[in-house]
Amino acid sequence: MKSILALGLGLLSLATAQTSFPKADGTRFNIDGKTGYFAGTNSYWISFLTNNRDVDLVLDHLQTSGLKILRIWGFNDVNSRPNSGTVWFQLLQSSGSQINTGADGLQRLDYIVKSAEQRGVKLIINFVNYWDDYGGMKAYTTAFGGSKEGWYTNARAQEQYKKYIAAVVSRYVNSPAIFAWELANEPRCKGCNTDVIFKWATDISNYVRSLDPNHMITLGDEGFGLAGATTYPYQYGEGTDFAKNLGVKNLDFGTFHMYPQHWGVPNSFGAGWIRDHAAACKKAGKPCMLEEYGVSTDQCNVQKGWQAASRQLATEGMSSDLFWQWGDQLSSGRTHNDGFTIYYGSSQATCLVTDHSTVAMFSKPLTGLVPLLCALLTFITPIMSQSQVRIMALGDSITGSPGCWRALLYRRLQTAGITNNTKFVGSLPAQGCGFPYDGANEGHGGILATQIVSQKLLPGWLSSAKPDVVMMHLGTNDVWNNRSPEEILVAYGQMVDWMRESKASIKILVAQIIPMNPPNCRECGQRVQNLNKAIPGWAAGKNSTESPITVVDCWTGFDTSRMTGDGVHPNNAGNEKLAGCWFEPLVKAIK
């Protein structure tokens, strides 16, 4: 026990030592050395609080909720000096402007940054509002003339805006609590050529980069202007082109917002909006952040679906979502309810915050006594309870979304008395299957085995989940994309190598996958058979006593016309069938 503790503390000091700037790691974010998907939220009002204890309370609540990223307003522009006691950051006047670095000015931001540093929360700070709240571009045009559309090219406005940026950035240039600098909140240029915002974003991001080589920079736009559909948000009329702006060198990730109610589209619009942005981000090789989203009715059900849709694309371009907006009980009372507010401690918060953030990786920073004990415990637990078997279901949408055969399989294990020594592991959460079950998994919708290998996705999943048993059902999407059995088995082989690097005695169950008969691929049925036929020979060649491979036949007796709705994904009957094929091999592997 003593040596374990010493080792645990060693691990801990290593972890606390690696404080670094958040960054992009391909299409995913990396915070404090961990690459993954991160949940967060927005609070515009926190920047204008005058009571430090209220700031600390909010950040405490964010920390305990597991929310890692907080987006705040970094601007508060006025055209005349307010009465004392009112917070303002910049006075804009043609006769001479002033940046307020006093106690009712940028020192308010200083306190938030300090509080965030202490709690491992990362901040997105933006420099100007497109909207007139807290001044915005309007405050600049009031001082310097012109229209909001002209703001992006107004020399005097831009000169002062850059001075303001320099004032803010210089204060926190070395802070690990800055997630990213953001050029504006929801910049639009109605009826303008999309070059206007593109050129402005290029110029300003270059400028920010010249001041700060380390922190990420992003635009803060709503993601308007995108190929894929013709509804209002996809159009270019607000002057932004999402894919084009992703090409700006010093913008490190893409942002988009989502308010179907405001945009005249149904809530079901959300999944496609997320998918299309993720695809653009993937193409650009930068992460996507769903930076604001909200509905004012049925918040839990609607937004839970959006969060799941975003997480499902965690390796396909999406790396974070920040709901709008955080609500809390301050010394002055409840914070502003604009109809979208999710209050700390409410049932909506349990649904959209607690449940959601527990699946985002590494949400707890390693500071303070309680996290310290947690860190020690997570380290010790696998050693003390050796009998616990960690099981990873690895695959595509057949396994993950919703993959209700895993729920049925879990229930069968319970019925068989295997009730307390299994744990299903993976970065994706259980989806609704009608009853609670242990449903963490690595079933990534749309994924190919060859892609898992080319993008080296599995080592990260393994090091987080640390499985003792892997059940793998993969190849459907490879077959659909006409990858040959040879290519797929090479990928299988690499995956097995990674699994054994993760744990030398890992037990590996490999499915002969279920048949498929999608309308757009008549040859797929035969291709599945060709793959399945090659699996046993491959498995025997790769087998070892220390880390046995078991081939699991899920193909025989699976009838696509009866057991799927679309020729590919199992329906209830298909889920029963899949639970059945896995059950016995899994029980043997557990024992």
Ligand X SMILES: *[C@@H]1O[C@H](CO)[C@@H](O)[C@H](O)[C@H]1NC(C)=O
For ligand X, the binding residue among 8, 26, 446, 548 (CB under 6 A) is 548
Contact 537, 543 (CB under 8 A): no
Element (H, E) at 460: helix 458-465
Beta strands in 90-191 (DSSP E): 90-91, 98-99, 122-126, 178-182
- Rule CB under 6 A: which of 453-492 touch ligand X? none
Q: Which of 326, 555 has the CB closer to ligand X?
A: 555
What gap in Å lies between CA 2 and CA 70, rounded to an integer?
A: 39
DSSP state of 553: E
What gap in Å lies between CA 59 and CA 118, rounded to an integer?
A: 9
Name the segment binding ligand X (CB under 6 A); options: 211-219, 289-297, 361-369, 537-545.
537-545
Q: Which of 282, 507 has the CB closer to ligand X?
A: 507
Q: Which of 559, 584 has the CB closer to ligand X?
A: 584
- Kindly write down the DSSP assignment for every residue of 337-383, as one continuous string: --S--EETTSHHHIIIIIHHHTTSTT-S-S-SHHHHHHHHHHHHHHH
Identify any residues that bridge with 68 across adjacent strands, giving them in sequence order. Answer: none
Task: Give least dist CB 461 to ligand X, A.
Answer: 23
Position 543 contacts ligand X (CB under 6 A): yes
Position 165 contacts ligand X (CB under 6 A): no
Name the segment binding ligand X (CB under 6 A); options: 46-54, 498-506, 539-547, 553-561.
539-547
Task: Give least dist CB 549 to ligand X, A.
Answer: 5
Rounded to whole angstroms, what are the CA distances from 85 to 47, 51, 104, 333, 430?
Answer: 14, 11, 7, 18, 49
Task: Give least dist CB 419 to ligand X, A.
Answer: 6
Name the segment binding ligand X (CB under 6 A); options: 115-123, 175-183, 328-336, 414-422.
414-422
Q: Total binding residues for ligand X by CB under 6 A? A: 11
Name the segment binding ligand X (CB under 6 A); options: 164-172, 220-228, 320-328, 543-551.
543-551
- Rule CB under 6 A: which of 25-44 touch ligand X? none
Task: Give least dist CB 395 to ligand X, A.
Answer: 19
Task: Give least dist CB 113 to ligand X, A.
Answer: 46
Q: Which of 339, 537 has the CB closer to ligand X?
A: 537
Position 589 contacts ligand X (CB under 6 A): no
Closest CA to 177 of 100, 105, 72: 72
What gap in Å lies between CA 347 and CA 339, rounded to an integer?
A: 15
What gap in Å lies between CA 422 and CA 440, rounded to an integer?
A: 12
Q: Which of 213, 417 has the CB closer to ligand X?
A: 417
Position 549 contacts ligand X (CB under 6 A): yes
Contact 138, 151 (CB under 8 A): no
Buried b (16+ CB within 10 A) or exposed e, 196-234: bbbebbbbbbebbbeebeebbbbbbbbbbbbeeeeeebb
Task: Give least dist CB 4 to ligand X, A.
Answer: 21
Contact 518, 569 (CB under 8 A): no
- Kindly write down the DSSP assignment for every residue of 222-291, as one continuous string: -----TT--SGGGSSTTS--HHHHHT-TT--BEEEEE-HHHHT--TTHHHHHHHHHHHHHHHHTS-EEEE
What gap in Å lies between CA 585 and CA 551, rounded to an integer?
A: 9
**Burial of 26: CB neighbours in 10 Å, binned 0-12, 13-18, 19+:** middle
Q: Which of 110, 438 has the CB closer to ligand X?
A: 438
Position 525 contacts ligand X (CB under 6 A): no
For ligand X, the binding residue among 428, 448, 531, 551 (CB under 6 A) is 551
Amino acid 344 reads: Y
Task: Give least dist CB 497 to ligand X, A.
Answer: 16
Closest CA to 575 of 399, 434, 445, 419: 399
- Rule CB under 6 A: which of 419-458 touch ligand X? 419-421
133: left (phi over 0), alpha (psi -120 to 50) or beta: beta
Could you tell me the two tokens for 379?
């380290």
Name the segment binding ligand X (CB under 6 A); options: 26-34, 58-66, 399-407, 535-543.
535-543
Q: Which of 24, 551 has the CB closer to ligand X?
A: 551
Q: Which of 210, 420 has the CB closer to ligand X?
A: 420
Name the segment binding ligand X (CB under 6 A); options: 186-194, 220-228, 344-352, 542-550.
542-550
Task: Give least dist CB 387 to ligand X, A.
Answer: 7
Q: Which of 80, 545 has the CB closer to ligand X?
A: 545
What gap in Å lies between CA 175 and CA 116, rounded to an integer?
A: 10
Catalytic pick from 182, 186, 291, 316? 186
Report the Cα 467 to chain-centroid distance in Å: 22
Q: Residue 291 catalytic?
A: no
Position 417 contacts ligand X (CB under 6 A): yes
What gap in Å lies between CA 123 and CA 171, rounded to an integer?
A: 14
Position 493 contacts ligand X (CB under 6 A): no
Task: Give least dist CB 227 to ligand X, A.
Answer: 46
Amino acid 198 reads: F
Task: Give least dist CB 544 to ligand X, A.
Answer: 7
Could you tell me the two tokens for 383?
């050693």
Position 409 contacts ligand X (CB under 6 A): no
Position 539 contacts ligand X (CB under 6 A): yes
Q: Residue 186 catalytic?
A: yes
At 125 the three-state DSSP class reads strand
Name the segment binding ligand X (CB under 6 A); options: 9-17, 106-114, 207-215, 544-552.
544-552
Catalytic pick from 182, 238, 291, 292? 292
Position 540 contacts ligand X (CB under 6 A): yes
For the window 362-401, what string marks contact with ligand X as x by the rule CB under 6 A?
----------------------------------------
The footprint of ligand X (CB under 6 A) covers: 417, 419-421, 539-540, 543, 545, 548-549, 551
Q: What residues are labeled active site?
A: 186, 292
